Structure 1
């Protein structure tokens, strides 16, 4: 029984007490309870409306992308799950419990904005709008399960810091490094001129006439660059190479023999 139905049932019980204590007529009680039942039916119909079902389907696709990223990034810790989910547009983390996937299991409740569209028989749009749809994700300890369109718990979403991004930086960086040349101080000044997000980690070093640069916005968002007398070279290491415990996104890597090489 959902919360709306419970409220209506409680209201009917209260009316019954009033009828017994205060002498309210049974006919009056019947009329009011009939209205309460109609209200419950309206709530159920609303949740099953084509517009709502369409919003649920749209939100479910966004949850699919959240789960794909969990698997792609090999996540298993509760805080990593919550942080990753909170990076997705239209996704808020309401609750997270547990510690790790294989020990305690982790339960996440997400609130996702779904866009619903009701289409008429002639293909025209009858109505459309956004709804907040909630999902429960149970990750481990043995099996992963998912409940769609659950009742949303009360309370504000958990604060999740958004990662900075290096999207659109590549071309700007290449132009700036070309102007700076293979001079470490000039390269540092060029990076300052780009006015990158302060949350992006920047590392610069030089060796034997070559300047190395490492820019990292998040675990898997990295640009490595090396600048010689011939000009700059940029490289984005693969997702596998940037996994925890693998390649570092630093000037040292940019200056090493690993620069520009993909795993086989």
Structure 2
């Protein structure tokens, strides 16, 4: 009898313990679940705020990348058009384009080592509102990696920009707007070399533009060169002055030079064959 009473007592004690422990465990689990959910909400909000504060809107950023990519297309077209293959020529050509800077270059030539360029290009980004209006627009630097040769060419758009400064490259002068001024000045003088030189000096051209003057058989030839493919040739005779801009093809390496003797030759004014 005493044994049965003690067993019942122990059973009752266990039941009381279960009644006390189970609610505590349940409450603990609830607190853990609620606490975890709260932390998850805070984390999601934090991520959302980080994206909002630190990352540009993808569509807005994409508009800057697209604009910069068009400028890189023009750089590559010029490489091909000018038949470039040397690293220094690539750097010089790319740096002549507005909004384009060369941050790094490796390699020597296209067909031997291959040449890799890293360009920083200013892309114009536009933020459009829900009603189609422009909320904001600004320029954003976008970087590109160009791999040129030795077998294939490739490019990587929108890479992380290096922190270094651009390579320092001298900008070519331009002969834009010089044609009419030169012809007017030469029309006013005869085929006299010193007078022609003085007329050219009076134009006050960019000092980087190299003038060349030569005389032969009562004629004076003039050449003004600003860059490889930016050239004006002129011929002054007793009848007046004639101007000619050789084509891009004619000024390619190995073809006609931008020289005064060409203005006095039979090649003057003729198109490419």
TM-score range, shorter chain: 0.7 to 0.9
Q: 1:120 aligns with which of 129, 137, 143?
A: 129
How far 1:44 moved relative to its partner?
A: 7.5
Show structure 1 runs of 5+ residues with no match: 1-26
Q: 2:81 aligns with which of 68, 72, 80?
A: 72
Give me the TM-score of the superposition, normalised by structure 2: 0.81
- 1:44-95 residue CA offsets vs partner (Å, 9 max, x unmatched): 842x522211111111110000000000000000000000000000000000
Contact residue 135 and residue 148 of structure 1 kept, 8 A: yes
How far 1:40 moved relative to its partner?
A: 5.5
How far 1:38 moved relative to its partner?
A: 5.1
- 1:89-147 residue CA offsets vs partner (Å, 9 max, x unmatched): 00000000000111111000000011111223432112211100000000011111111
Please give the alpha-carbon distance, in whole angstroms, between the structure 2 residues aligned to 1:77 and 1:37: 47
Please give the alpha-carbon distance, in whole angstroms, between the structure 1 residues aligned to 2:166 and 2:76: 19
Show structure 2 runs of 5+ residues with no match: 1-35
Please give the alpha-carbon distance, in whole angstroms, between the structure 2 residues aligned to 1:42 and 1:142: 43
Q: Does 1:61 align with 2:61?
A: no
Please give the alpha-carbon distance, in whole angstroms, between the structure 1 residues aligned to 2:153 and 2:53: 31
Alignment partner of 2:253: what SS?
coil
Contact residue 111 and residue 132 of structure 1 kept, 8 A: yes
> Which segment is superposed worse, 36-45 or 54-63?
36-45
Aligned to 2:139: 130
Please give the alpha-carbon distance, in whole angstroms, between the structure 1 residues aligned to 2:51 and 2:131: 28
What number of residue pairs does the alignment pair up?
A: 235
Alignment partner of 1:180: what SS?
coil
Give me the TM-score of the superposition, normalised by structure 1: 0.84
Query: Larger Cα Rg: Structure 1 or Structure 2?
Result: 2
Q: 1:141 aligns with which of 150, 161, 172?
A: 150
Please give the alpha-carbon distance, in whole angstroms, between the structure 1 residues aligned to 2:190 and 2:269: 20
Contact residue 51 and residue 127 of structure 1 kept, 8 A: no
- Root mean square deviation of aligned Cα: 2.0
Inter-CA distance 40–102: structure 2 relative to 1 (3 Å threshold)? farther
